[in-house]
Every structure is written in structure tokens, then in C-alpha cells.
């Protein structure tokens, strides 16, 4: 019987868990033995008893547990585990399978260990954005949460109302929100800000998203497009400096009248594009709020500091990290379903089979049979070797 291990996340500030009682019940029904580390779901308010009621087995983490596991489901990358006395990748048996948001662009040492140990790893952030893989798209499920929470965070720190209010003491105009980037996070931010009653303007380098923005009630800021910013797999691509300069000139006027600016632009594996410059922040009114969802990739705003709050000329700039995790219960629920969908796509006769001809598996595969199979990651790892 295939043994699936769900360990507790060791990274500081990571309360999410890679499986929930709901997904454990479905896995046990499919014929798998599911081990859950004691307390793995507690930070997401998923108690051990709920897992055992679903058919899972609560276990203590030790070298034996890890070495016997056929599949390990994770939220974040593998790391040094004090309970094991070693790196988690070193505790796995050859041919074991690891699935998680493995951050291959930043975890070169982990990737080397996985390849050296002949571990098959699939990175959830590499799942191709195709129709068949929508239920597996963890980046989208977590970005959706981040976009929502960014607006709630901004509203809680803004010293004004979001909606138009007509009171006996007079009329209060609605807040004005500018959202940079209309991907999953940006569109959810549009919808949330509109529900709160704000006037919402949106900038994106992909003209194709204009209809989506307007369908949610936002106003699309037209830019001087000479080429599309549509990249592979539905992501935005990196644009040239000339385009970014002209974009900033147009946006400065809109940002200057905004109460809230939410930036969401990210390019996989690269530093976040600089969209909000010092000059643009200087044009904003004191009391305005910036929420930069790209803080972990260097920030879209020139003044962003990851995990910190910065006040510049009365403008509050927030650089939250791992924002989806701040809603750990629902974030875990949807992430676990993403992981389950990927795992079930590889199930056959109560076993897990790695089909290299399957475009979802091939696209998600990070390491396999002693090799780093994801070419961009292989280049990074090779470049960091002494």
C-alpha cells in the first residue's frame, strides 16, 4: 500500500497544511495509507481528531517515518528538520515522490539534494496553466486569497471609508483604488474593492484583460501598446524599459489621485518589475496606502521592504509576505484540493505513476531519476555551483 506523509511545515510563519480531512478521506478511499504528523493542521484549525475521523493516521516525525514514506505532500520547500536532525530531502528514500510549492528558483541546495537522492519532485508553481490543470493551479488559488486580503488590509489601514456615504453630516466621496496587474490576485482585488464601494482603476500590460476588468466594474487604464505583454501560460511577460517608462508616466497621474494602490505584478523566476517609483509615491497624497504583493520578489514599489511597513511623506507602504497564509484555513482547503487533483491525475490501480508523456506531469516535474528536469532551474543550480 502506498504511504503518503503530510508533515507539519517548519518554515517560520507558515501555518498552512498540504492536506485536510476532506482530502485525506478521498485519498484513503482511493486505497492509500495517509500519515499526518501530529499537529500538522492545528495552525489552520484542523485538529488531529478530524484527520483520524477521515481515515488518516497521526504519527510522530522521525527518520523512520520519512524513510518509509512513498509520497510526501508539502506546502513549502523541504528544509532542515530538527526532529530529523538533517535536511528533509536527505531523509527520503530513493524514488520517493515530493509534491509542494518548492520554490525552485530560490532553493538551489534543496534541488541538488533531491536530484542526488533520486527523488521525484513536482513543484506546484510549475503546473502549466492549461484547461485540464485548472483544478491543480495552486498559484491561482493562493493568489486569489492574497488579492482579497490585500484590499481588506488596505481598507483596515486607510483613514477613510471605501464606499460613497450620504449622511446627515454631508456626503463622503468613495475611495479611489488603483490596482497594478490584472492577474488572478489583481482581479480578485478589483472585485473586493468594488464590493466595498470604491472607484477602481486597473493597469496591466496585457490588453486582453480589459474586458475582464470592466466586467468586474473596474476602469481599465489604457497604455500605449506596441506589443502585447501576454506571456506563455497566461502569465505576463517581462517588458522593456522604454515601455515601463511610458507606463509610469501615464500611471503617475492616476496614482496621484488614488487613496490606495495595490501592486500585483510578478514574473516567474525573476525580480518583480518596478512599477511604482519614488517620484510616483511622492505624487501620492499623505494618508494613502500602498500594498505591494510582489514584496518577496523585490517589490513593485521602489520603497517596499519585504515584511515591513514604510512611511514616506505620509504614504504607508506595506510589503506583506506570504499573505495567503494569513487566511490559513481557507488557503489550506483550496491548496490541498490542488495537490489532490495533481496526485489523482497520476493514480493508476492504487499506485502513483510518473508519465513523462503527460504534459501536466512533465511541466510540473522538477527532479526525476537523478536529474534536474526543469531546464530553467537546472541553469540556476549549475550557475550557483562553485
- Of 49, 60, 67, 134, which residue is the catalytic one? 134
Do residue 252 and residue 290 come from a single domain?
Answer: yes
Chain-wide mean pLDDT for the chain? 93
Has residue 137 been placed in a domain? no
Do residue 317 and residue 336 come from a single domain?
Answer: no
pLDDT on residue 239: 60
Separation of alpha carbons 138 and 255, rounded Å: 31
Better pLDDT: 64 or 329:
329
Write the DSSP string, 41-54.
TGGGT--HHHHHHT
Do residue 295 and residue 368 come from a single domain?
Answer: no
Catalytic: 129? yes
Write the DSSP string, 135-191.
GG-HHHHHHHHHHHHHHHHHHHH-SS-SS-EEETTEEEPPPEEEEE--SHHHHHHHH
Catalytic: 70? no
Do residue 337 and residue 214 come from a single domain?
Answer: no
Do residue 202 and residue 219 come from a single domain?
Answer: yes
Do residue 115 and residue 226 come from a single domain?
Answer: no
pLDDT on residue 268: 79
Residue 384: band (very low, low, confident or very high) from pLDDT cuts 50, 70, 90: low
Given 321, 348, 369, the domain boundary residue is 321
Separation of alpha carbons 175 and 73, rounded Å: 42
Has residue 134 been placed in a domain? no
Residue 114 lies in domain: 3-126+329-384
Do residue 333 and residue 370 come from a single domain?
Answer: yes
- Of 51, 70, 90, 137, which residue is the catalytic one? 137
Look at 46-50, 95-99, 204-208, 240-244 and tell me which has the smallest mean pLDDT: 240-244
pLDDT on residue 242: 76
- Of 235, 248, 326, 330, which residue is the catalytic one? 235
Catalytic: 140? yes
pLDDT tens per residue, range 256-291: 999 999 999 988 778 999 999 999 999 999 999 999
pLDDT on residue 349: 85
Percent over 70 (pLDDT), the chain? 95
Residue 70: band (very low, low, confident or very high) from pLDDT cuts 50, 70, 90: very high
Residue 200: phi and psi, rounded to 5, are -120, 130
- Of 140, 141, 203, 364, which residue is the catalytic one? 140
Q: Say whether pLDDT at 338 is over 70.
A: yes
CATH label of the domain that carries residue 92: 3.40.50.720
Do residue 213 and residue 72 come from a single domain?
Answer: no
Do residue 308 and residue 192 come from a single domain?
Answer: yes
Do residue 162 and residue 23 come from a single domain?
Answer: no
Has residue 133 been placed in a domain? no
pLDDT on residue 236: 52
pLDDT on residue 243: 72
pLDDT tens per residue, range 183-227: 999 999 999 999 999 999 999 988 899 999 999 999 999 887 655
DSSP letter assigned to residue 301: B
pLDDT on residue 35: 98
For the chain, the domain total comes to 2
Percent over 90 (pLDDT), the chain? 85
pLDDT on residue 223: 80
Has residue 138 been placed in a domain? no
Given 290, 321, 352, the domain boundary residue is 321
Has residue 233 been placed in a domain? yes
Buried b (16+ CB within 10 A) or exposed e, 66-93: beebbbbbbbbbbeebebbeebbbbbbe
pLDDT tens per residue, range 222-255: 887 655 545 555 555 556 677 777 877 889 999 9
Q: Say whether pLDDT at 126 is over 90.
A: yes
Q: Say whether pLDDT at 23 is over 60.
A: yes
pLDDT on residue 240: 63
Do residue 262 and residue 162 come from a single domain?
Answer: yes
Cβ(138)–Cβ(131) below 8 Å: no
Has residue 136 been placed in a domain? no
Q: Say whether pLDDT at 385 is over 90.
A: no
pLDDT on residue 244: 72
- Of 11, 112, 118, 129, which residue is the catalytic one? 129
Given 275, 293, 321, the domain boundary residue is 321
Do residue 260 and residue 306 come from a single domain?
Answer: yes
pLDDT tens per residue, range 141-169: 999 999 999 999 999 999 999 999 999 99
Average pLDDT estimate for 73-92: 95
Separation of alpha carbons 14 and 7, rounded Å: 12
Buried b (16+ CB within 10 A) or exposed e, 208-237: ebbebbeebebebbebeeeeebeeeeebbe
Amino acid at each position: 500500500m502506498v504511504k503518503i506523509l503530510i508533515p507539519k511545515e517548519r518554515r517560520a510563519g507558515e501555518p498552512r497544511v498540504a492536506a485536510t480531512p476532506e482530502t485525506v478521506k478521498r485519498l484513503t478511499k482511493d486505497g492509500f495509507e495517509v500519515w499526518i504528523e501530529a499537529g500538522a493542521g492545528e495552525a489552520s484549525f484542523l485538529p488531529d481528531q478530524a484527520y483520524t475521523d477521515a481515515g488518516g493516521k497521526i504519527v510522530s516525525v522521525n527518520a523512520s517515518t520519512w524513510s518509509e514514506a512513498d509520497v510526501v505532500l508539502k506546502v513549502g520547500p523541504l528544509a532542515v528538520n530538527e526532529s530529523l536532525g538533517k535536511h528533509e530531502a536527505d531523509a527520503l528514500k530513493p524514488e520517493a515522490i515530493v509534491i509542494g510549492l518548492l520554490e525552485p528558483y530560490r532553493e538551489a541546495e534543496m534541488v541538488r539534494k533531491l536530484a542526488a537522492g533520486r527523488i521525484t519532485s513536482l513543484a506546484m508553481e510549475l503546473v502549466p496553466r492549461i484547461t485540464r490543470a485548472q483544478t491543480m493551479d495552486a498559484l491561482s488559488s493562493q493568489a486569489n486569497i492574497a488579492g482579497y486580503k490585500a484590499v481588506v488590509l488596505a481598507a483596515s489601514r486607510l483613514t477613510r471609508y471605501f464606499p460613497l456615504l450620504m449622511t446627515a453630516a454631508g456626503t463622503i466621496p468613495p475611495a479611489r483604488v488603483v490596482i497594478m496587474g490584472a492577474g488572478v490576485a489583481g482581479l480578485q482585488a478589483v472585485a473586493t474593492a468594488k464590493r466595498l464601494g470604491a472607484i477602481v482603476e486597473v493597469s496591466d500590460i496585457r490588453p486582453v484583460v480589459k474586458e475582464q476588468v470592466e466586467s468586474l466594474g473596474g476602469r481599465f487604464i489604457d497604455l500605449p501598446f506596441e506589443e502585447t505583454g501576454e506571456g506563455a501560460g497566461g502569465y505576463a511577460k517581462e517588458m522593456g524599459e522604454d515601455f515601463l517608462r511610458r507606463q509610469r508616466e501615464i500611471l503617475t497621474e492616476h496614482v496621484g489621485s488614488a487613496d490606495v494602490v495595490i501592486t500585483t505584478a510578478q514574473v516567474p523566476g525573476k525580480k518583480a518589475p518596478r512599477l511604482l517609483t519614488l517620484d510616483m509615491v511622492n505624487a501620492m497624497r499623505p494618508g494613502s496606502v500602498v500594498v505591494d504583493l510582489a514584496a518577496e520578489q523585490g517589490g513593485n514599489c521602489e520603497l517596499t521592504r519585504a515584511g515591513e511597513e514604510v512611511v514616506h511623506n505620509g504614504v504607508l507602504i506595506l510589503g506583506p509576505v506570504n499573505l495567503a497564509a494569513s487566511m490559513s484555513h481557507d488557503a489550506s482547503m483550496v491548496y490541498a484540493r490542488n495537490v489532490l487533483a495533481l496526485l489523482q491525475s497520476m493514480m493508476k490501480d492504487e499506485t502513483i505513476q510518473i508519465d513523462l508523456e503527460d504534459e501536466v506531469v512533465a511541466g510540473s516535474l522538477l527532479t526525476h531519476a537523478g536529474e534536474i528536469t526543469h531546464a530553467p532551474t537546472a541553469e540556476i543550480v549549475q550557475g550557483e555551483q562553485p
